[in-house]
Amino acid sequence: MGVELAGFTYSILAGFMSCILMVYSIDKKRKDMYLASLAFTIASWAGLEWGFWMLGYDMFKLVYMPVVPLAMFFAIWTGFIIYTSEKVFKKREYWMGFLAILIIISVIASFCMDCL
């Protein structure tokens, strides 16, 4: 364990910050904090992907394989973001933008694993 530990630590810290901002934004109905929580969620997932890449795994292949905990993590969190965007903030643009950024990141990560 070496550099990949930095990616996983980064992912944990960004995920923790995302959760704090998500709870705060829902409680106070703050759209700016909600968008910041989405940014930290994307950063957390990118850190997780980078950590797996440093270990030699392709996270996107792991998600589509029958690795149920990892796939359920992404499915449930994405569903929660869609639900929160629609019910709390009534903005479809938030979750659609979130998914668009995730698609762009996944395409770059899938086709450019060794570009660095």
Predicted TM-score of the model (pTM):
0.81
Element (H, E) at 14: helix 3-28
* Three-class secondary structure of residue 56 per DSSP: coil
pLDDT one digit per residue (tens) for the chain, 116 residues? 677 788 889 889 999 999 999 999 988 888 889 899 999 999 988 888 888 888 887 777 776 776 677 778 888 888 988 888 888 888 888 889 888 988 888 787 777 666 65
Greatest distance between any 2 Cα atoms in the chain: 43
Q: How far apart are CA 111 and CA 98, in angstroms?
A: 20
At residue 110, the pLDDT reads: 73
Is residue 53 in a domain? yes
Identify which of 54, 42, 40, 41 has the alpha carbon closest to the alpha carbon of residue 7.
Answer: 54
Give the CA distances from residue 44 to residues 28, 86, 91, in Å, rounded to whole numbers and listed in that order.
23, 22, 23
Give the CA distances from residue 37 to residues 3, 67, 94, in Å, rounded to whole numbers and listed in that order.
25, 26, 11
Is residue 31 in a domain? yes
Count how many domains the chain has: 1
Is residue 116 in a domain? no
Residue span of the structural domain in which 99 resides: 3-111
CB 12 within 8 A of CB 50: no
At residue 1, the pLDDT reads: 62
At residue 21, the pLDDT reads: 92
At residue 18, the pLDDT reads: 92
Is residue 17 in a domain? yes
Is residue 25 in a domain? yes
